[in-house]
Amino acid sequence: MLLNLLLGVPVMAVCLILQSTLVVFALRFYVNRQANIRDHALGSALKILTVVMLILIFGNLAQVAAWAALFVFIGEFDELSVAVYHSAVNFATLGYGDIVMSERHALLGPLEAINGILMVGISTAALMQTFQHALRRVLGGPSL
């Protein structure tokens, strides 16, 4: 169990750093382009929000890849594609169970799921903040 924590917690920290960096990048992208959202111009808002969403999704996919790299590094999976699939299932908390980790590293799955739900929550909060702000601009209401 201690080995799993020693392996998983640093990856969680890397994921937090990556997520924080990309959230800041996404929010800066939005702030620098919010003037392009004119009153009642939903199309321009959606274009900007789509880029913000893609930045955040890229961040989550990069974290899935980081966990997959750990799984390959410790010899849990021989193929990166299998490790990425398993990692995505864990990160998204789907828990299909079609591919399971060895008993030795089984705790890494729940650690990644905890990490994933927290990081997806951060992405959701950032996207919702930009969405609400853009909606206020489009509808002509008060800005945040």
Q: At 78, list the tokens.
A: 């021989």
Residue 72's identity, in one-letter code, is: V
User: Distance (Å, rounded) from C-alpha 30 to C-alpha 134?
Assistant: 9
Task: With a cut of 90, say whether residue 91 has pLDDT above it.
Answer: yes
Task: Indicate whether this model's pTM tops 0.85.
Answer: yes
Residue 142: predicted pLDDT: 60
User: Distance (Å, rounded) from C-alpha 62 to C-alpha 115?
Assistant: 13
Closest CA to 91 of 22, 20, 19, 21: 19
Q: Are 23 and 56 in contact (CB under 8 A)?
A: yes
Residue 30's identity, in one-letter code, is: Y
- Reported as a pLDDT band with limits 50, 70 and 90, residue 62 is very high
Residue 109: predicted pLDDT: 94
CB atoms within 10 A of CB 100: 10
